Amino acid sequence: MLLSLLTRKEKLKFLDLAMHMVSVDGEPTVVEQRLLNMMLAEVGDGIVSEYHFSLSKDLPGTIEFFNQASPAVRNIAYLNLLKVAMSDDFYNTLEHFFLENVREQFKIEDSKKKQLMTLVYSERDLRERAKRIVNH
């Protein structure tokens, strides 16, 4: 969501951050992998040809990169991390701690986190309503 607004480097750094998040509790689930593929499609063909799903060894460097970015860029990155974490029905404590650590380092207030989570829930609700309508 809104990943197309990021620069090329921000997109690549976001994908790295997302890989770290889905790997925090082991291998990415099928749902997480599908969502990562959708995000990869959203960032564009130029990024697709450059990016390979592998973890960088410099998570602190990636965090620091985003700390130097604008609040809007940090909010977009965090919004999409929330989306990945909430994509499957299993939101575990390791993901929670990872997200909270990122939120604190990105200096995202708890009130902003709640607003971003509301967006993710709204998108999920809209998708579910659309499925019900087209199937009945």
Query: Domain residues for 35?
Result: 3-135
Q: The dihedral of CA 7, 12, 13, 14: what is its sign?
A: positive
What does the pLDDT look like over 48-94, one tens digit per residue? 666 666 666 788 999 999 999 999 999 999 999 998 888 766 667 88
What does the pLDDT look like over 111-121, one tens digit per residue? 999 999 999 99
Q: Which CATH number does the domain housing residue 93 bear?
A: 1.10.3680.10
CB 86 within 8 A of CB 120: yes
What does the pLDDT look like over 1-21, one tens digit per residue? 898 899 988 998 998 898 888
Best CA proximity match to 98, nearest among 82, 109, 114, 83: 82
Number of domains in the chain: 1
